[in-house]
């Protein structure tokens, strides 16, 4: 075992709640991947949990090193919403046992999301007995997500309250979420700080004429700068129905390219029935794109990006779009305005609002496109680049 993993002179940070690193998906997963990559302070040692199912888990090989972090595997206990709850519980138990075994000083257990509120009081006492601290990233409003049944949403809300109540520090990646925590849970006098999510603004490493790029654009009959693009999880709160309906009303001759995991999804069948989008040749569901250089190329060559996310804090897909796509049309909620400010255009759910904005965007001059694109990239470069975000975390963890 790497001696750094148990060096008692270091500050040990146990990160619980991401699916694991290295990753090709997920906001928290990308965050932890980049945090470990960009951290230069050798006095900080990260420990990161990873969840594996029965077919992947090897009890004789549960630890590995990535980006200098000590990573440890947790075996998945069950599926459904309970999967994440048991995973977080088991990962914290592992972390506490590891801290005890190696007598690590002043550790931090940093829990991503508020899934284990009913259990967290007990863990907090154990962490404090070891001289440690409990940090929590409250994420977005998980209890608002339409994919959950009413009882599950009720559980998420109760769990969020208990996580806020017990956290020594809540690290919010959105000022809107931080204000919500302070206001809704002010009776607990929660201690909060704001550190945003990060993004990269570097261009794709693929050339325009790379065979991979040419094959993808040819397969879906999509042409450079002649399409609007949507990238995000295929869930109702990302307003796919509104985007599709409004696009169908618009006069644009450009395509709508939807990058999402829509296959075998009842939501897709419902949208097809309610909108009849299959009759509109401009609308193209293209599935997921996990190849990051290719996804960057798709973003770079889009005429504009449409963002419909209505729940949560700083969204990774939005940051990536602002860094790479010239024109961004965002659903008008506080989280999106906070990030983009005047580097984007905004739309509401009012009938015809997005359709009119699409038609107006179609007629923007090159100078207007360049101006708003530069404003968006400046927002990312100044406030959301990974070096800047990681340095804020290093300062926090050094304490």
pTM (2 decimals)? 0.84
Nearest to 285 by CA among 274, 276, 293, 277: 277
Indicate the length of the chain as a whole number. 399
Nearest to 15 by CA among 72, 66, 53, 65: 72
Helix, strand, coil % in the chain, rounded to nearest 5 = 45, 20, 35
Q: Which two tokens stand for residue 215?
A: 């094959």
Q: What is the pLDDT of residue 156?
A: 86
Helix (H, G, I), strand (E, B) or coil at 327: strand
Distance CA(265)–CA(376), nearest Å, equals 33
Nearest to 281 by CA among 257, 308, 315: 257
Q: What is the pLDDT of residue 1?
A: 63
Place of tokens 């006098």: 189
Strands 63-66 and 69-75: antiparallel
Q: What is the pLDDT of residue 298?
A: 97
Q: What is the pLDDT of residue 199?
A: 84
Q: What is the pLDDT of residue 141?
A: 59
Q: What is the pLDDT of residue 143?
A: 55
Domains of the chain: 3-198+385-398 (3.40.50.2000), 211-383 (3.40.50.2000)
Q: Which residues contact 394 (CB under 8 A, 6 or more apart)?
A: 39, 40, 41, 44
Per-residue pLDDT tens listing for the chain (399 residues): 687 899 999 999 999 999 999 976 678 898 999 999 999 999 999 999 999 998 899 999 999 999 999 999 999 987 777 888 999 999 999 999 999 999 999 999 999 999 999 999 999 999 999 999 999 999 865 655 666 677 778 888 899 999 999 999 999 988 888 998 999 999 999 999 999 988 877 889 999 999 999 999 999 999 999 999 999 989 888 999 999 999 999 999 999 999 999 987 889 999 999 999 999 999 999 999 989 899 999 999 999 999 999 876 678 889 999 999 999 999 999 889 999 999 999 999 999 999 999 999 999 999 999 999 999 999 999 999 999 999 999 999 986
Q: What is the pLDDT of residue 78?
A: 79
What count of other Cβ atoms lies within 10 Å of the Cβ of residue 65? 12
Task: Transcribe 224-259 into DSSP letters.
Answer: TTSEEEEES---GGG-HHHHHHHHHHS---SEEEEE
Strand ranges across the sheet with 169-172 = 63-66, 69-75, 44-52, 11-16, 108-112, 133-137, 169-172, 192-194
Task: Transcribe 250-284 into DSSP letters.
Answer: S---SEEEEES--TT-HHHHHHHHHH-GGG-TTEE
**Residue 208 phi/psi, 5° resolution?**
-60, -35
Q: At what angle do helices 353-362 and 240-249 cross, to 10 degrees?
A: 60
Strand ranges for the chain from DSSP E: 11-16, 44-52, 63-66, 69-75, 108-112, 133-137, 169-172, 192-194, 227-231, 255-259, 283-287, 304-307, 327-331, 345-347
Q: Are 206 and 294 in contact (CB under 8 A)?
A: yes
Q: Are 327 and 384 in contact (CB under 8 A)?
A: no
Q: Are 196 and 380 in contact (CB under 8 A)?
A: no
Q: Which two tokens stand for residue 119?
A: 């259990």
Distance CA(193)–CA(350), nearest Å, equals 35
Nearest to 130 by CA among 109, 149, 144: 109
């Amino acid at each position: 075992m790497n001696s750094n993993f148990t060096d008692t002179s270091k500050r040990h940070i146990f990160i619980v709640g991401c699916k694991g690193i290295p990753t090709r998906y997920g906001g928290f997963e990308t965050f932890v991947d980049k945090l470990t990559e960009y951290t230069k302070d050798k006095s900080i040692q990260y420990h990161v949990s990873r969840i594996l199912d029965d077919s992947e888990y090897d009890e004789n090989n549960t630890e590995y090193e990535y980006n200098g972090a000590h990573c440890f595997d947790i075996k998945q206990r069950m599926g459904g919403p309970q999967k994440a709850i048991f995973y977080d519980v088991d990962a914290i138990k592992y972390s506490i046992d590891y801290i005890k075994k190696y007598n690590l000083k002043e550790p931090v257990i940093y829990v991503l999301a508020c899934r284990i509120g009913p259990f967290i009081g007990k863990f907090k006492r154990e962490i404090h007995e070891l001289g440690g601290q409990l940090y929590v990233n409250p994420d977005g409003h998980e209890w608002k997500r339409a994919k959950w049944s009413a009882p599950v949403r009720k559980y998420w809300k109760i769990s969020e309250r208990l996580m806020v109540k017990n956290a020594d520090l809540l690290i919010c990646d959105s000022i809107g979420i931080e204000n919500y925590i302070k206001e809704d849970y002010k009776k607990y006098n929660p201690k909060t700080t704001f550190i945003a999510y990060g993004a990269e603004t570097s261009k794709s490493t693929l050339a325009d004429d790379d065979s991979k790029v040419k094959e993808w654009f040819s397969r879906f009959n999509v042409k450079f700068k002649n399409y609007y693009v949507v990238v995000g999880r295929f869930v109702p709160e990302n307003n796919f129905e509104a985007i599709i309906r409004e696009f169908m009303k618009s006069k644009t001759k450009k395509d709508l390219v939807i990058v999402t995991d829509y296959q075998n999804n009842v939501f897709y069948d419902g949208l097809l029935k309610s909108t009849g989008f299959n009759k509109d040749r401009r609308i193209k569901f293209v599935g997921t794109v996990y190849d990051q250089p290719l996804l960057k190329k798709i973003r770079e060559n889009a005429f504009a990006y449409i963002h419909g996310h209505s729940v949560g804090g700083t969204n990774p897909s939005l940051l990536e779009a602002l860094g790479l796509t010239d024109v961004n049309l965002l659903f008008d909620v506080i989280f999106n305005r906070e990030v983009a400010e005047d580097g984007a255009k905004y739309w509401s759910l009012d009938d015809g609002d997005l359709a009119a904005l699409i038609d107006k965007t179609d007629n923007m001059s090159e100078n207007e496109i360049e101006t708003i694109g530069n404003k968006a990239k400046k927002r990312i470069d100044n406030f959301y680049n990974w070096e800047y975000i990681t340095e804020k975390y290093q300062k926090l963890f050094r304490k």
